Amino acid sequence: MLGPDQPVILHLLDIPPAAEALNGVKMELVDAAFPILKGVIATTDVVEACTGVNIAVMVGGFPRKKDGEKRCDVEKCVNLQVPGFSFREACSCKLQASFVVQVLVVANPANTNALILKEFAPSIPEKNITCLTRLDHNRALGQISERLNVQVSDVKNVIIWGNHSSTQYPDVNHATVKTSSGEKPVRELVKDDEWLNAEFITTVQQRGAAIIKARKLSSALSAASSACDHIRDWVLGTPEGTWVSMGCTLMAHTMCHLG
C-alpha cells in the first residue's frame, strides 16, 4: 500500500464479540513474516487503536448481503448500536490520532459515514477525510480495458462523479488509452457512444450488486485492492498527467492529481 520499503505498524480495531477472531488475524499476520510489518496491535479499545496513527482505514460497517439490496438501504443502520461499538464511537479517535492522520472510509454508506466522521472528529482537517470511490474508478477502467482488449494499466483518467451509489456518473470524456501510436481518447477507440452512454454506465453503477448476485457476498478482493490504491496514490502521488477519483465529505467527488 505504501511501497515495498515502508515499514508499518498495524493497529487493528474490532468489536468485543470479535476479539478472538481478531487475535486470530494477528496470529496469521505474525506467521506470514512480512518483512515490512514491524508490529501488530489487535484491540477492542478505540483509544488504544487510534493512538499515534498516521493512516486510518475505516472498514467496519453494514455490508450489503443480499441480491437487490442497495447501498442506501444500509444507511439506516449507520446509527444503530452494535454491542460495544458504533461508527460514532470510532470517531473518538480525534482525541488520540495524529494531527496528520489521513482517513479513508470504506464501509457503506461511505459518503454518509465520512460526513459523520467529519462531524464527530472536528480536530481532523476536512481535507484529510475521504471515502472510497476508487473501486468505482477501477471498475470503469476494467470495463474499458475489456471492451478494447487492452491492458488495464494502459487506460487512464476516467472520472467518477457523485456519491458511491447507483446514481454515480462514470465519465470517460477525458479518458485515454496508450497505443503504439500514442495516447488516444477512449471514445475515439470504442467508436460506440450508445454503449458508453448506456450499458457502460449502468454496468459500473450496478457492479457491486452484480457481484453480490454472483458470489452471494459483497465485493471483497476488489474493494481491498482499491483501498490500497487509494491510500498509495494519496500518500505517494500519481504520475504526471494522471488523476484518480476520491470521495469527499461534501457528498460529492473530486479528482486528485498528486504529481
The more confident residue out of 131 and 67 is 131
- Same domain for 102 and 151: no
pLDDT at 91: 54
User: What is the pLDDT confidence band of residue 198, given thresholds at 50, 70 and 90?
Assistant: very high
- Same domain for 192 and 85: no
Name the pTM for this structure.
0.85
- Same domain for 90 and 104: yes
Distance between CA atoms of residues 24 and 111, nearest Å: 31
pLDDT at 72: 52
- Same domain for 187 and 243: yes
Catalytic residue selected from 11, 137, 164, 253: 164
- Strand stretches in the chain, DSSP E: 8-13, 37-43, 55-58, 102-105, 129-131, 155-156, 159-161, 169-171, 176-179, 182-185, 244-247, 253-256
Q: Domain containing 122: what range? A: 45-131
pLDDT at 164: 83
Last residue of a domain, one of 67, 97, 131: 131
User: What is the pLDDT confidence band of residue 89, given thresholds at 50, 70 and 90?
Assistant: low
Residue 75: pLDDT over 80 = no
Inter-CA distances, 54 with 8, 46, 81, 101, Å = 10, 15, 27, 4
- Mean of pLDDT values over 178-192: 97
- Same domain for 118 and 193: no
Does 139 show up as a binding residue in the annotation?
yes
- Mean of pLDDT values over 225-229: 96
The more confident residue out of 108 and 5 is 5
Residue 76: pLDDT over 70 = no
Last residue of a domain, one of 102, 131, 160: 131
Active site residue 230: no
3-state DSSP assignment of residue 33: coil
- Mean of pLDDT values over 34-50: 91
Percentages helix, strand, coil for the chain, rounded to the nearest 5? 45, 20, 35
CB distance 157 to 185 below 8 Å: no
**Mean pLDDT of all residues belonging to the chain:** 84
Residue 83: pLDDT over 50 = no
Query: How many structural domains does the chain have?
Result: 2
Does 197 show up as a binding residue in the annotation?
no
Inter-CA distances, 76 with 72, 82, 108, 112, 216, Å = 8, 13, 11, 11, 22
Last residue of a domain, one of 100, 131, 162: 131
- Same domain for 153 and 64: no
Residue 85: pLDDT over 80 = no
Residue 202: pLDDT over 50 = yes
- Same domain for 156 and 73: no
- Same domain for 138 and 249: yes
175, three cell numbers: 479518458
74, three cell numbers: 444500509
Residue 86 lies in a domain: yes
Does 79 show up as a binding residue in the annotation?
yes
Task: Provide the residue count of the chain.
Answer: 259
- Same domain for 183 and 168: yes
- Give the least confident one: 10-19, 69-78, 181-190, 199-208: 69-78
Residue 169: pLDDT over 50 = yes
172, three cell numbers: 470517460
- Mean of pLDDT values over 79-104: 56
CB distance 171 to 161 below 8 Å: yes
pLDDT at 183: 97
Does 187 show up as a binding residue in the annotation?
no
Q: Which of 67-76, 96-105, 222-231 has the highest mean pLDDT?
A: 222-231
- Mean of pLDDT values over 143-166: 94
User: What is the pLDDT confidence band of residue 250, given thresholds at 50, 70 and 90?
Assistant: low
Does 232 show up as a binding residue in the annotation?
no
- Same domain for 235 and 153: yes
